[in-house]
Structure 1
Amino acid sequence: MNDIIVAKFGGSSLADSQQFAKVKKIIESDNRRRYIIPSAPGKRDKKDHKITDLLYMCQQLAAHNLSFDDIYNIVKKRFLDICSDLNLSFGMEDILDEIKEKIAHGASRDYAASRGEYLNGLILSNYLGYEFIDAEELILFDKTGKFDAKATDDKVNARLADVSHAVIPGFYGVMPNGEIKTFSRGGSDITGAIIAKGVMAQLYENWTDVSGFLMADPRIVKDSKPMEKVTYKELRELSYMGASVLHEEAIFPTREAGIPINIKNTNAPEDAGTMILSDISPVSHTGTITGIAGKKDFTVISIEKTFMGSDRSFFRKLMTIMETNDISVEHMPSSIDSISLIISDSELNSKLQKVVEEIRIYCNPDSIICYPNMALVAVVGRGMINTKGISAKVFTALAKEGINIRMITQGSSELNIIIGIENGDFERAIKAIYEAFQ
């Protein structure tokens, strides 16, 4: 690992000139922060618009031969105001006019969307006095539009070898034919992780408007504590169960390289934030949990058949029905003569009766019962491993609240416990479990 920090700043961190000033102070407070990845300007308040959304709208209107002047003028004013407030003068108006011209003459949706990051990168590099390196020089996609990790690593190594400090816009790269290509989601997060891996950084900082990931959804648990540490595996479990955390695509490069990620708050830089660590790091928090997440609106199809286990084709037939109906199954808890299929309502999508009838015909069960309006709650944490009493604490908390548990499943890794409950008990269950571990 090199003594380098790669720092990505999100849209809220770079929404206006005041935020730019905060970002500059943060960067200059640690000389290891050498490569900076900016997002496009985000919302300044609830009534404001994200620049990327406005640029998408401009391209859409242009594609239908409609005027987009009014929308583009909002974009233009936003960037010119930031430059004016920061006393920067480097021909921003000409650059904005050139981009407008390209959109008017049929530039792609990806090109238009990427210009928010591009323009913010130009402003930030001028403001910091760092070299500006366009992401299209570094981030490469193949001709099918798939990210080319090997070619990108080679480019990053070669291009940044003699560059001590640089600003590299997030969210986009380039195809072999020169066309701009954006990442599908978490774009700037992915760029930051790619650069961190490419330079083998000591740390990847992801600066946003919250002081790390919270243990539980703040809309359910007010004043939820932030997670101090979370591993990549724990993060994956929480993300899968609906928690607002970094998407897996956004962390795969750093996970691969074993580089820790620190989620930090631009508006409260003194806060420790959440540290995302390698899965092989020692467990330092036994006896507790890392986080709680969950999702509503599942249906359970409970199937009973005597001597189910001795019917070698039973499970294959059952999964064939799911596959031919294009349905993913979330969980399959089972006992000696029964199995339950837990399926998201969005997956079933009015296919329930058809699926039940096919199971009757193809699998010949003794009975099938459907339970709608189910929710799943996942209690996640490596600290649960080899620790007695965690499950008891969870179930006692639910019992005290009078919450009926309909299903329990836990993998052999002991990384999480998943509990099935009624939709109506969802919020109370999360609050009860959270309180039990405080």
Structure 2
Amino acid sequence: MTLKVTKFGGSSVSCASQFEKVKNIVLSDPDRRFVVVSAPGKRNSSDSKITDLLYLLDAHRQYHVDASNVFKLIKERFTEIKESLGLNYPVERELDEMYARLQTMTQNEIVSRGEYFCARLMAEYLGYPFVDAADVIRINHDKSIDWDATRARLRAVMNTTSRFVFPGFYGLSSNDKIMVFSRGGGDITGSILANIFDADVYENWTDVSGFLMADPRVVKNPEPITHITYSELRELSYMGASVLHEEAVFPVKESNIPIHILNTNRPHDAGTIIQETSNVPRKYPITGLAGKPGFLSIYIYKKHMSNEIGYMRKVLSVLERFNVSIEHIPSGIDSFTVIVSKAEVDDSLYEILHAIKKEVHADEIKVQEHIALVSTVGNSMSHQPGMAGRLFEALGRERINIQMIAQDSNEINITIAVDEKDLSRTISVIYEEFVHPDDSQIRPVEVEPFIEVVNVALETE
């Protein structure tokens, strides 16, 4: 029998009608025995997420401002779900009890209640037992998972039930306090359960039918990505193409458990399957592409730099002192350029430049702003000669200037820097080159099994 851990995001549990969709999905497949839920999300574009309201409730508490109006909104949302579905769980009374002790609660405990109350309602609606994440998931002081303790508690639960509903987003710290993950952390909860259960698949239900090959705001009707490897996903999600919390990958990646991204509102769509390896033939030589603006470059030139040992390290140590992360470092014989996020240096750029000048006595330092990065990603690119040439030729035809080029050693990613004003056009040109070229150029690509050699890291709802 196949075992599935099934997680539903905030949009999937935003109201009673969404609860009904969840129930139909869960009960349609007996393998969906372990259900993780987020807090109710937005019902429409002008609505608020329950988690946002709980953070607002905590802010009112901290500043001793009357929070009754915010609490009323939260209570109405949960009461509406309960009454619409004819449930008996006394959510109103428990919410009132929470509000009565608000001043003694921590922020983590307050914001975790969105998942808690949603899971209690969903458990009754499905007829499944409720299991509290605080009774199972143990989190260390450094926010890592205490796997041994969590595994032992979860297996104890399994001795009493073969199915349950479980709240995402939180667990219990080593000092017995509620601790939450970062926003979207319900995805992490689902992957923890999938890892410990050694699930056959981890289903992540949201409001989109998986990943697309490009941003639909830039490319009209982009092709869906039906299969993607963890490493490809990491490359694309770093540029913002993400529907999954990046930390949710690691617990399942090490066991090669597939993550299946699915759409609660369109449950029959194929979605996207994420796996460590993929033997599925690819129709196109690229898997997808993504880009984002907001970068700048710092160019450093020094005569005979190549003869000075440790020169680049000294520059990077300056950026480290200012807590600036590095995106890319294209280099020459006597010069190199550091690409960084503009937001990270906005308040300290001149201090950084002065410190670099003082540290390495550069002959020239130049800054260029308004840079965008575009990543073209695909495991199959390494099996296609001339991929970089085609990309550069296509951009050259459109007179788009490439300011920087970087390609990783696995040959699954070509990243270029362009002017921000050319970002959308760059993505469109590359997409058309590899996805909609002349018919004679379209051919299936046989993908060899890809096994990642170097470990790499990966709004959700």
TM-score by length of 1: 0.94
C-alpha separation in 2, matches of 1:145 and 1:317: 32
Which residue of 1 is the match for residue 174 of structure 2? 176
* Bigger relative contact order (CA 8 A; separation at least 6): 2
More displaced stretch, 156-165 vs 383-392: 156-165
Matches within 5 A, 1:183-202: 183-202=181-200
Which residue of 1 is the match for residue 426 of structure 2? 429
One-letter amino acid of the counterpart of residue 14, structure 1:
V
CA positional deviation for 1:143: 4.7
* Conservation of the 8 A alpha-carbon contact between 1:153 and 1:198: yes
Structure 1 counterpart of 2:413, from 404, 416, 421:
416
Which residue of 1 is the match for residue 234 of structure 2? 236
Q: How many residues align?
A: 435
1:356 aligns with 2:353: yes
Q: C-alpha offsets along residues 192-220 of structure 1, whole Å, 9 cap, x if unaligned?
A: 11111111100000000000012222222
The secondary structure found in structure 1 opposite 2:214 is coil
Matches within 5 A, 1:318-329: 318-329=315-326
C-alpha separation in 2, matches of 1:320 and 1:236: 26
1:313 aligns with 2:310: yes
The secondary structure found in structure 2 opposite 1:136 is helix
Which residue of 2 is the match for residue 80 of structure 1? 79
Matches within 5 A, 1:98-117: 98-103=97-102, 105-117=103-115
Q: C-alpha offsets along residues 56-100 of structure 1, whole Å, 9 cap, x if unaligned?
A: 222222333333222212211211111111121232322222222
More displaced stretch, 54-63 vs 418-427: 54-63
Q: C-alpha offsets along residues 213-234 of structure 1, whole Å, 9 cap, x if unaligned?
A: 1222222223222211111111
CA positional deviation for 1:162: 4.1
Which residue of 2 is the match for residue 293 of structure 1? 290
More displaced stretch, 61-70 vs 39-48: 61-70
More displaced stretch, 421-430 vs 51-60: 51-60
CA positional deviation for 1:286: 7.7
Which residue of 2 is the match for residue 215 of structure 1? 213
CA positional deviation for 1:118: 0.8
Could you list the runs of 5+ residues in structure 2 that have no partner in the other structure? Answer: 436-461
**Residues 385 and 283 of structure 1, relative CA distance in 2, 3 Å threshold:** farther
1:388 aligns with 2:381: no
C-alpha separation in 1, matches of 2:260 and 2:122: 21
C-alpha separation in 2, matches of 1:406 and 1:13: 42
Which residue of 2 is the match for residue 40 of structure 1? 39
**Residues 83 and 304 of structure 1, relative CA distance in 2, 3 Å threshold:** same
The secondary structure found in structure 1 opposite 2:417 is strand
CA positional deviation for 1:392: 2.3
C-alpha separation in 2, matches of 1:177 and 1:409: 46
Matches within 5 A, 1:202-281: 202-278=200-276, 280-281=277-278
C-alpha separation in 1, matches of 2:333 and 2:110: 57
C-alpha separation in 1, matches of 2:332 and 2:63: 58
Which residue of 1 is the match for residue 439 of structure 2? none
Which residue of 2 is the match for residue 157 of structure 1? 155
C-alpha separation in 2, matches of 1:6 and 1:265: 15
The secondary structure found in structure 2 opposite 1:89 is coil
The secondary structure found in structure 2 opposite 1:58 is helix
Structure 2 counterpart of 1:138, from 136, 139, 151:
136
* Conservation of the 8 A alpha-carbon contact between 1:140 and 1:173: yes
CA positional deviation for 1:246: 2.0
**Residues 242 and 160 of structure 1, relative CA distance in 2, 3 Å threshold:** same
1:375 aligns with 2:372: yes
More displaced stretch, 340-349 vs 266-275: 340-349
C-alpha separation in 2, matches of 1:75 and 1:244: 28
The secondary structure found in structure 2 opposite 1:131 is coil
C-alpha separation in 2, matches of 1:355 and 1:420: 22
More displaced stretch, 387-396 vs 420-429: 387-396
C-alpha separation in 2, matches of 1:145 and 1:330: 26
C-alpha separation in 1, matches of 2:283 and 2:20: 41
The secondary structure found in structure 1 opposite 2:86 is coil
C-alpha separation in 2, matches of 1:365 and 1:95: 65
* Conservation of the 8 A alpha-carbon contact between 2:227 and 2:278: no
C-alpha separation in 2, matches of 1:340 and 1:254: 37
C-alpha separation in 1, matches of 2:108 and 2:271: 32
CA positional deviation for 1:350: 4.3
* Conservation of the 8 A alpha-carbon contact between 2:188 and 2:245: no
**Residues 91 and 325 of structure 1, relative CA distance in 2, 3 Å threshold:** closer
The secondary structure found in structure 2 opposite 1:242 is coil
CA positional deviation for 1:419: 0.5
Q: C-alpha offsets along residues 301-328 of structure 1, whole Å, 9 cap, x if unaligned?
A: 2223343222213222222222233322
C-alpha separation in 2, matches of 1:53 and 1:123: 20
* Conservation of the 8 A alpha-carbon contact between 1:287 and 1:384: no
More displaced stretch, 181-190 vs 205-214: 181-190
Identity within the alignment, %: 44
Which residue of 1 is the match for residue 445 of structure 2? none
Structure 2 counterpart of 1:401, from 394, 398, 401:
398
TM-score by length of 2: 0.89
CA positional deviation for 1:369: 2.9
* Conservation of the 8 A alpha-carbon contact between 1:283 and 1:383: no
More displaced stretch, 2-11 vs 31-40: 2-11
CA positional deviation for 1:144: 5.5
C-alpha separation in 2, matches of 1:55 and 1:315: 46
CA positional deviation for 1:366: 4.0
One-letter amino acid of the counterpart of residue 437, structure 1:
F
**Residues 303 and 49 of structure 1, relative CA distance in 2, 3 Å threshold:** same
Which residue of 2 is the match for residue 126 of structure 1? 124
* Conservation of the 8 A alpha-carbon contact between 1:286 and 1:385: no
1:340 aligns with 2:359: no
C-alpha separation in 2, matches of 1:245 and 1:313: 40
Which residue of 2 is the match for residue 25 of structure 1? 24
C-alpha separation in 2, matches of 1:117 and 1:199: 21
